Every structure is written in C-alpha cells, then in structure tokens.
Amino acid sequence: MRILVTGGAGFLGSHLCDRLINDGNDVICLDNLFTGRKENIAHLLGHPRFEFVRHDVVDPFKFEVDQIFNLACPASPPHYQYNPIKTTKTSVIGAINCLGLAKRVKARVFQASTSEVYGDPEMHPQREEYWGHVNPIGLRSCYDEGKRCAETLFFDYNRENKVDIRVIRIFNTYGPRMLANDGRVVSNFIVQALKGEDITIYGDGKQTRSFCFVDDLIEGFVRFMNQTEIIGPMNCGNPGEFTMLQLAELTLKLVGGRSKIVFKPLPSDDPKQRQPDISLARRVIKWEPQIPLEEGLKRTIAYFSKQVG
Ligand code: NAD
Ligand code: UDP
C-alpha cells in the first residue's frame, strides 16, 4: 500500500514509518519538524519506498494514497502550550485536510487521538463510553479540545461522507526517540537521573499515569488500522498504573547515580489519575502490551545514555 504518515518524523511517527516500511509499504512522511527531527528518519531517507515531505498539515496537501495516519501535533505539554492557537489549528485544520484528502482518494484515515479527551477523569479506569471531564478554557485546552474537535470531525465525515475512519485514543507512551528536552515525565526523569540532576516531581507525586512502551503501541496501531469490525474510538495503552513517585524511584533504581527527588508546583489542570480500560482492544484486535515498565525503561535509558552521554 501507499501510506501517508503526518507527523512521521516525531517520536511515534518515526517508529510507525519503520514498521510500515518493514511491512513492505510505500511511505510518505509529512512533517513540519516542529517537534520532529530528521535524525529520527535519517536511516530511512535513502530507502526506495520512503519519501520525506516538509509541510504543515494546516496547509492543504494532495497525495494518491491508500491509507493516512494522522499523527501531526505536538504531544508534550510544554510544546503544545508554546503556541496554543497553532496547536488547535494543527488538530482541527489538520484533521479537515486529512479527511478531505481521504474523501477524495477514498483512503482509510487514522486519527491519533488521546486519553486527554477524558480530561481529569471522574470514571476510573477510562472506558471509551466515558465523555470526559475537560476544562474548555485552561492551559491544556488547546490540546484537549483540539483533539476532541478532531474526533468530532472524523465521525461527521464518516456519517456524512462515508469516509473510512479509525480513531484510537493513545495513553502515555514512551521509548527511544523522545526528545531529551521534551518535557514529558519519562524523558525528564531519565535525563535528570543520567545527568545527576534533581528529579522534578510536580505536585505531591501521588498522581498516576499508565505507561506504554512504543513498540507495543505501534503493534496496536497496525492491527487496529487493518481490521474492519470497528472504527473506534478505541483505547490503546498499558493498564499498569503508577504514581509519579513510583516512576521516579524506579528510574533512580535503574539509572543509579546521586540524583535527589525534589517537588515542584503542579501545573494547572494536571489529571490526577489515568488508566485505560483496554477490553475493547483485547477483544477486537487481540492486543495487549507485552513490555513491562521496568523493561521498557531499561531500553529507553539505553537510548538516552547515548544521547546525553
Ligand atoms: P511528537 O511531538 O514527537 O510528534 C509530533 C510530530 O508532529 C512531530 O514530528 C512534529 O514536528 C509534527 N507536527 C507538529 N505540528 C505539525 C504541523 N502543523 N504540521 C506537520 N507536522 C506537525 O509527539 P508523539 O508523542 O510522537 O505524538 C504523535 C501523535 O500521537 C500526536 O498527535 C499526539 O497527540 C498523539 N499522542 C501521543 C501520546 C504519547 O504519549 N506519545 C499520547 C496521546 C496521543
Ligand atoms: N511530571 C512530573 N515531573 C516532570 C514532568 C511531568 O512530575 O518533570 C508529571 C506531570 O505533572 C503529570 C505526569 O508527570 O502529572 C505526566 O506528565 P506528562 O507531561 O508526561 O504527560 P501528561 O500530563 O500529558 O499525561
């Protein structure tokens, strides 16, 4: 197949491009390199079935493709809050551009949605039926509401124009190729521990997240995209739930060194708990994560040791 991956030079996008190329597809990677890097796809640049296009999803684009994976959007809070209006435009206009293209060329189109659509959830663990508890006017809203509006557009294009959609809700995912200065918790803790700097816990560290290793997630993407039973939304993530204190202690144990844990103010609207209910993924795509946190952290630490070292 010919496949377009928007955001293909980012953390998840570059792993997806690797997987799609390995499966024998032709891949077009479209990215404006805001948080993505050419290094992430450098090994693919000479490949006869791979093309890189530097382009912004907010501006229309046209490619003859069979599938579109829409991943373009900064994902870490400091990056998506850097230019919040642009973040909403990327999610909303980017979705419209992908859906318009999918409609024209009759491609199947995949939306990388997020557990953030559940906001600071009042239902635990989060099931796909839950409508969420989201602040529409806070600092995280550009991302949360942008992604919610993108979901709305996907379902309206499906109902109105019969566009063949797949909407997946990704929970916190980590692994090699995250940016060292990305600002997300796993990369922050690992880089701080490797440099012997203080480990910065925001708030009291009792808030929870559920962390999925990138290889598990990409397997879920491909299985979900290539089945015809459901269009989503479908949760994809690792149900293992940890407090930020536990994550800091585990990271320190694995990296070693002399870092101390310090406490910083909690950012506004920071969700208190998050854990995916993955019964739907288990049933439909027979998927569940295989890589436990400790193993995934070891692989990620090995990556950052080379970057930071
Ligand atoms: P990332 O920041 O590494 O990747 C995003 C990519 O999109 C980058 O390469 C960036 O340059 C590109 N991009 C941003 N704005 C663009 C624009 N206007 N036009 C073209 N390209 C643009 O983040 P990631 O973790 O790889 O996330 C990929 C997708 O998955 C995002 O849509 C994100 O919202 C979603 N997601 C990720 C997670 C996670 O834990 N990693 C969780 C939920 C959802
Ligand atoms: N966090 C932290 N220290 C850091 C970075 C993040 O304690 O250096 C916390 C953050 O407040 C949140 C959790 O870790 O409660 C996950 O943050 P991240 O930005 O990775 O993802 P998100 O909040 O979008 O789930």
Q: 25-68 pLDDT, tens per residue?
A: 999 999 999 999 999 999 999 999 999 999 999 999 999 999 99
DSSP string, 105-170: HT-EEEEEEEGGGGBS-SSSSBPTT---B--SSSTTHHHHHHHHHHHHHHHHHHHHH---EEEEEE
303 included as an active-site residue: no
The per-residue pLDDT for 257 is 85
Q: Break the chain into its structural domains and give their ranges.
A: 2-174+212-236, 185-209+240-274+291-308
Q: Do domains 2-174+212-236 and 185-209+240-274+291-308 have the same CATH topology?
A: no
32/64 Cα distance (integer angstroms): 20
Asked if 260 and 189 count as a contact pair (C-beta separation under 8 A), the reply is: no
From the candidates 80, 82, 118, 143, which is the catalytic residue? 143
Architecture of the domain made up of 2-174+212-236:
3-Layer(aba) Sandwich (3.40)
Tell me how far the alpha carbon of residue 260 lies from the centroid of ligand 1, in angstroms. 31
Smallest-distance ligand from the CA of 264: 2
Tell me how far the alpha carbon of residue 302 lies from the centroid of ligand 1, in angstroms. 23
Smallest-distance ligand from the CA of 174: 1
148/141 Cα distance (integer angstroms): 10
270 lines ligand 2 (CB under 6 A): yes
* 3-state secondary structure (DSSP) of residue 218: helix
The per-residue pLDDT for 77 is 94
The per-residue pLDDT for 11 is 98
Tell me how far the alpha carbon of residue 9 lies from the centroid of ligand 2, in angstroms. 23
The per-residue pLDDT for 308 is 84
Specify the pTM. Answer: 0.97
Burial class of 86 by CB neighbour count within 10 A (0 to 12, 13 to 18, 19+): middle
For the domain 185-209+240-274+291-308, what is the CATH code?
3.90.25.10
Among 16, 19, 35, the mutation site with the greatest number of ligand 1 atoms within 8 A of its Cβ is: 35
The per-residue pLDDT for 158 is 98
Smallest-distance ligand from the CA of 88: 1
The per-residue pLDDT for 57 is 98
Q: Which residues of the chain have pLDDT under 70?
A: 309
* CB-CB neighbours of 203 under 10 Å: 14
Among 14, 73, 118, 216, the mutation site with the greatest number of ligand 1 atoms within 8 A of its Cβ is: 73
The one-letter amino acid code at 250 reads L
Tell me how far the alpha carbon of residue 256 lies from the centroid of ligand 1, in angstroms. 31
